[in-house]
Amino acid sequence: MLLNLTQVQILWHVAPCDMRKSIDGLSQLIASEMGENPSDGRLYIFANKNRDKLKILYWEKNGFCLWYKRLERSKFKLPAISEAKLGLTAEQLQWLLSGLDIKKLTGFTSLKYSCFY
């Protein structure tokens, strides 16, 4: 089943990751380095040092799903961040997967009103 990205939190593991890791190894990184629960329903993004490979791990109902993308000629434009994790919006994830620089792009600011007149 495909996810509705607007209803799920997305966290990026900022440090480069060994892409030989699979579900168990990535789950261990989520718990130990990010301090999160890998089965909490969030999307966890991992990239390699060369930034030409991404893995996304998430829990769906009764098991883990692992998504992998390898670029043949380009690199993902990931920002340099000093924290262990970074939250992304669904829009930023789509930009990232499309090859856009998420630090240079900004979408519309969400507005919320309590009164309409």
- Asked if residue 110 belongs to a domain, the reply is no
**What is the rounded CA–CA span in Å between residue 15 and residue 47?**
8
Q: Is residue 117 part of a domain?
A: no
Q: Would you say residue 82 has pLDDT above 90? A: no
Is 55 part of a structural domain of the chain? yes
The residue to which tokens 């991404």 are assigned? 54
pTM for this structure? 0.79
pLDDT of residue 1: 47
In a domain, 29, yes or no: yes
Q: What is the pLDDT of residue 39?
A: 93
Q: Is residue 84 part of a domain?
A: yes
Number of folded domains that form the chain: 1
Q: Domain containing 30: what range?
A: 5-97
pLDDT value at 61 more than 60: yes
Is residue 105 domain-resident? Answer: no
| More confidently predicted of 110 and 16 | 16
Rounded CA-CA distance 73/111 in Å is 39
Residue 77 lies in a domain: yes
Q: Report, as an integer, the average pLDDT of 47-63.
A: 92
Judged against a pLDDT cut of 70, whether residue 27 lies above it is answered with: yes
Task: Indicate whether 111 pLDDT > 50.
Answer: yes
Does residue 104 belong to any structural domain of this protein?
A: no
Between residues 58 and 108, the one the model is more confident about: 58
Question: For residue 102, which phi and psi values (nearest 5 degrees)?
Answer: -70, -20
Q: Which residues of 81-108 are buried (b: 16+ CB within 10 A; e: fewer)?
A: eeeebbebebebbebbeeeeebeeeeee
